[in-house]
Structure 1
Amino acid sequence: MSDRQLPKWSELRPLLRPKRFELDPRRRRLDSALTIADLREVARRRTPRSVFDYTDGAAEQELSLRRARATFAGLEFRPSVLRDVGDIDTTTTVLGAPSALPFGFGPTGFTRMMQHEGEVAVARVAERVGIPYGLSTLGTTSIEAVAAAAPNARRWFQLYVWRDHGAAEDLMRRAEAAGYEALILTVDVPVAGARLRDTRNGFSIPPALSARTVLDGARHPSWWLNFLTTEPLRFASLDRWDGTVAEMMNALFDPTMTLRDLEWVRATWRGPLIVKGVQTVDDARLVLAAGADAIVLSNHGGRQLDRAPVPVRLLPDVREAVGDGAEVLVDTGVMAGSDVVAAVALGATAVLVGRAYLYGLMAGGEQGVQRAADILTAEVRRTMALLGAPRIADLGLQHVRLP
């Protein structure tokens, strides 16, 4: 039997350390999110279903997206021990310029629809963190406005090739005049993928005030208040569109584009050219040989062809085929800083994240995007330390094994 006694106040007092109550509800929400998955759950609760599903969903049965995430979840790290990891350096070089981290914010369409602060919030965080940000052709803030909001950010402009090549040339000229560093040419959207969540939700651009959305609005009043009382949705590349995303893509984008069209893009755009949407080793070789400065292994976040290749699985074969000198980025399925580290170890120059920062945006605007960046950064640093790799250049195939 243990002897018992009443504790003395002098013994209790050091144990009583109440946590300071955060008065700001947005800050409380974000501080409670420890992972990107946590931010996703906050975003789901705070955003109308059709808008959340547009961001969260993928094509058809969503197999491509699930397989990408399952691949990251199933890979095995192989740490090197007894390495000096007292000083972790996450800086790397992308397109000949420094990036504070081995990831950037990839281009996403209709960003102000997800949360009214939109692209400006994302660009400002990218500027503070020191990473690239890609503005989409279907962005809801103009090329010039994003440049003005984040003048020192590494800004890239993502281009879909339109049936009207003159419109695409005008966008490239505007991006160059506004100081955008690089062009991302997306090549995996000859036609729109079948995004069934959007169809089932009756989703349109902009969201329509139907009986369903009015009812949903009662559950998400702050989103609707911000949507209805801030500047109407406009696009980086067209004045407006009334209809579905798929209808827009099929009406505007050029399904006849071939490798020869890269010559036309190269003749118009004088800066670095990144081709996004490469999904085979052969295409990686062909696109780089045709003049691309970098490629992004991507299946569009699983939003185009279902059962498409998992981009991170392609990395070792593509890296072997194109050599160490080529810049190879990757996206799709990235939900943690450990995913970023794994991709770099498998051969990626850097990683583009999309949904991860959008969950942060929907959860808390610019502060939410910053929270997403902070989570990813901490996870990158911790994973590198635990792998025994203090520098990005130290990461390699010895550190990871694909399932």
Structure 2
Amino acid sequence: MSKFIEPATAEDYRELARRRLPRQIFDYLDGGSYQELTRFNNESAFAAIRLRQRVLTDVSSIDLSCQRAGQPFALPIALGPVGLAGLMARRGEVQAHRAAASKGISFCASTVSLCSVEEIARAHPQRPPWFQLYLMKDRDYVKRLLQRASDSGVETLVVTVDLARLGSRYRDIRNGFDGPQSLAKRWARIKDIASHPGWVWDVAVKGKPLVFGNLSEAVPDASSLPDFKQWVDGQFDASVNWQTLGWLRQQWQGRLFIKGVMDADDAKRAVACDVDGIIVSNHGGRQLDSVAPSITKLAEIRKVVDEQTKTPPEIWLDGGVRSGLDVAKAMALGADGCLLGRAWAFALAARGERGVRELLARLENELTVAMALMGVTRLSELGTDNLDSWEHNL
């Protein structure tokens, strides 16, 4: 693709991001665990779902608005948590939050974002971000993070539960982005970075400080990202269980979403823990490789959750969403909304806040066109009747 062609799809932004970012950073964002089967199957599974086209219906007025997580949404999309997003563009999380809020949707800040939750919230105080939490071994620090998030206006907490062990990402190992740093690896990484002067000036120089803003109190002497690595790696807690989630529910008075559910039985247990939202997610194929694509588990989880309670929690889908048509398919299969991950990070890396705004506008247009050609005018009308032989295809 020529650099002068206007990007039209998430894949176009991915290509622009690949050109702009040092390879080690692009591969960190783009890659998955092990053989990356699930990372790619997340996207291909959407292609197997067929939409049902209908004609001669008045679709002159399409309404994409909805109420989610206690807030009005202009469309059923949120920007999901992406670690190290501040490496994609200068103060990247702040730019992404501004783009999301300007579109009337929410941005979810990661525990391991470069910008702190306070800095992100200040960028658009009229619409506070969501906050994603890792249940770290240091429970006192977890409490402090929760207080900081609450003080910043956060009302929706997203707790990630599929990190009992960290999946190996072979691209990171090959690039020296993870693991021991030999002299040869360090030199190769320096050359990689130096070959991208635009990124160096925008991010490495003008985007400082390059630290984990939410963890600065935990590692007060840290001055660079590697300084945080040992502490962060030692904080993943393999002992987290359903009782831990119950403890968290007592600590957090706002809305609680649980991210990483891929099994109907786990969804039932989440409902019993009084969560407000369930995010069907396989971590973008970055944890357990060869697990099913997220979209293939959505309908089953929607069914058991609805059967278990008269007031079911919201069900969101994460993984492989790249277009407005993907959003339409997810909504038809029972999602209340979709999280974007890599897609918005690619756009951010390619064009900063402008790129994220452009991507969201294109997704909005794609979803509007899809609904019109399916003969529906409101999100509530979307269901499996709008799909053609989806069970067979999945």
Same fold (TM over 0.5): yes
Hey, what's the Cα distance between the residues in 2 that align with 1:376 and 1:320? 27
Match of 1:334 in 2: 321
Residue 128 (str. 1) matches residue 102 (str. 2):
yes
Task: Please report how far the alpha carbon of residue 60 of structure 1 lies from its aligned counterpart in structure 2 after TM superposition.
Answer: 0.3
Match of 1:14 in 2: none
Match for 1:332: what amino acid? G
Residue 52 (str. 1) matches residue 26 (str. 2):
yes
Match for 2:215: what amino acid? L
Hey, what's the Cα distance between the residues in 2 that align with 1:178 and 1:349? 26
Hey, what's the Cα distance between the residues in 1 that align with 2:86 and 2:128? 20
Task: Please report how far the alpha carbon of residue 202 of structure 1 lies from its aligned counterpart in structure 2 after TM superposition.
Answer: 0.4
Residue 235 (str. 1) matches residue 212 (str. 2):
yes
Match for 2:200: what amino acid? W
- Flag the 1:225–1:44 CA change in 2: closer, same or farther, 3 A: same
Hey, what's the Cα distance between the residues in 2 that align with 1:204 and 1:120? 26
Match of 1:263 in 2: 246
Q: Paired residue for 1:111, among 40, 60, 85? A: 85
CA contact (8 A) 1:133 1:153 kept: no
The range that moved more, 101-110 or 316-325, is 316-325
Match for 1:153: what amino acid? R
Task: Please report how far the alpha carbon of residue 261 of structure 1 lies from its aligned counterpart in structure 2 after TM superposition.
Answer: 0.9
Tell me the SS of whatever aligns to 1:325. coil
Residue 325 (str. 1) matches residue 319 (str. 2):
no
CA contact (8 A) 2:113 2:212 kept: yes
Hey, what's the Cα distance between the residues in 1 that align with 2:228 and 2:161? 17
Match for 1:287: what amino acid? A
The C-alpha deviation readout for 1:16-55, integer Å capped at 9, x for no partner, is xxxxxxxxxxxx9697001111111111111111100100
Tell me the SS of whatever aligns to 1:192. coil
CA contact (8 A) 1:64 1:309 kept: yes
- For structure 2, the residue ranges without an aligned partner over 5 or more in a row are 217-221
Task: Please report how far the alpha carbon of residue 73 of structure 1 lies from its aligned counterpart in structure 2 after TM superposition.
Answer: 1.3
The C-alpha deviation readout for 1:224-255, integer Å capped at 9, x for no partner, is 12233221212132124654998665411211
Tell me the SS of whatever aligns to 2:214. coil
Hey, what's the Cα distance between the residues in 1 that align with 2:313 and 2:134? 23
The C-alpha deviation readout for 1:145-194, integer Å capped at 9, x for no partner, is 11111112241110001110000110001111110021001000011111
Match of 2:175 in 1: 201
Hey, what's the Cα distance between the residues in 2 that align with 1:244 and 1:328? 37
Hey, what's the Cα distance between the residues in 2 that align with 1:145 and 1:252? 24
Residue 223 (str. 1) matches residue 199 (str. 2):
yes
Task: Please report how far the alpha carbon of residue 217 of structure 1 lies from its aligned counterpart in structure 2 after TM superposition.
Answer: 3.2
Hey, what's the Cα distance between the residues in 1 that align with 2:227 and 2:116? 21
The range that moved more, 267-276 or 231-240, is 231-240
Residue 34 (str. 1) matches residue 21 (str. 2):
no
TM-score (norm 2): 0.90
Hey, what's the Cα distance between the residues in 2 that align with 1:392 and 1:242? 42
Match of 1:372 in 2: 359
| RMSD of aligned residue pairs (Cα, Å) | 2.1
Hey, what's the Cα distance between the residues in 2 that align with 1:388 and 1:30? 36
CA contact (8 A) 2:325 2:370 kept: yes
Hey, what's the Cα distance between the residues in 1 that align with 2:324 and 2:385? 18
The range that moved more, 318-327 or 300-309, is 318-327
The range that moved more, 259-268 or 226-235, is 226-235
Hey, what's the Cα distance between the residues in 2 that align with 1:244 and 1:170? 21
TM-score (norm 1): 0.88
Hey, what's the Cα distance between the residues in 1 that align with 2:278 and 2:312? 12
CA contact (8 A) 2:279 2:316 kept: yes
Hey, what's the Cα distance between the residues in 2 that align with 1:379 and 1:77? 13
CA contact (8 A) 2:212 2:228 kept: no
- Flag the 1:249–1:71 CA change in 2: closer, same or farther, 3 A: farther
- Flag the 1:107–1:183 CA change in 2: closer, same or farther, 3 A: same
Residue 166 (str. 1) matches residue 149 (str. 2):
no
Tell me the SS of whatever aligns to 2:132. strand
CA contact (8 A) 2:175 2:189 kept: no
Match for 2:382: what amino acid? L
Hey, what's the Cα distance between the residues in 2 that align with 1:375 and 1:361? 15
Tell me the SS of whatever aligns to 1:335. coil
CA contact (8 A) 1:204 1:243 kept: no
Query: How many residues end up aligned between the 2 structures?
Result: 375
Task: Please report how far the alpha carbon of residue 95 of structure 1 lies from its aligned counterpart in structure 2 after TM superposition.
Answer: 2.0
Hey, what's the Cα distance between the residues in 2 that align with 1:56 and 1:273? 28
- Flag the 1:245–1:49 CA change in 2: closer, same or farther, 3 A: farther
Hey, what's the Cα distance between the residues in 1 that align with 2:320 and 2:228? 22
